[in-house]
Amino acid sequence: MSTSKFFLSMALPLLILLSCKATKIEGNSDTIPKYSPVDAALHKTIAALDANFFDAYNHCDLEKQASIYSDNIEFYHDKGGLMTSKEEIIDGTEKNICDKVTRTLVKGSIEVYPIKDYGAVEIGYHTFFNKQEPNAVAVSSKFIIMWQHTNNVWKITKVISLH
């Protein structure tokens, strides 16, 4: 096979591949759509539940926290792994959080989406401040909370905490 035929046989598929790739890239948007609540009342409810739960968290009200967690809680932490015992989560909070760490919600970061016949998912950013290390730089991290609504009661069933 001559060099020019070899080059043409290699170049043509490459050009086709690149043109398909370019079309695909042009079809995608690099812009993330601005969040707008699907259900403003639900968003307000979940934001209030978040504030209520984390007020208890920041003030070490373990009984209130336990009442908001489902008995079937699943707590996924990117560094600590999975916990499924409400008692262990509350004990860990008492040991590692109480009077040591406070949580602040990043204002305007909460997104809430209804989950049909279940409740809602809350996605947002928060910052934890370690009182033991007052000069440490606090970094915001993402969280996801699944809220189940049963018999007019909201419970946290799943938490995904990413740092």
Q: Is domain 40-161 given the CATH code 3.10.450.50 in the classification? A: yes
Radius of gyration of the chain (CA): 24
Nearest to 159 by CA among 101, 94, 72, 95: 72
DSSP alpha helix (H) spans, the chain: 3-27, 40-58, 62-68, 86-96
User: Would you give per-residue pLDDT tens digits along the chain (163 residues)?
Assistant: 554 443 334 333 333 333 433 334 455 667 888 999 999 999 999 999 999 999 999 999 999 999 999 999 999 999 999 999 999 999 999 999 999 999 999 999 999 999 999 999 999 999 999 989 888 888 899 999 999 999 999 999 999 999 8
CB atoms within 10 A of CB 110: 21
Residue 137, pLDDT score: 86
Question: Quick one: pLDDT at residue 15?
Answer: 34
The whole model's pTM is what? 0.80
pLDDT for 28: 61
Render pLDDT for 37-59 as a digit per residue (tens, 0 to 9). Answer: 999 999 999 999 999 999 999 99
The number of beta carbons lying within 10 Å of the beta carbon of residue 46 is: 26
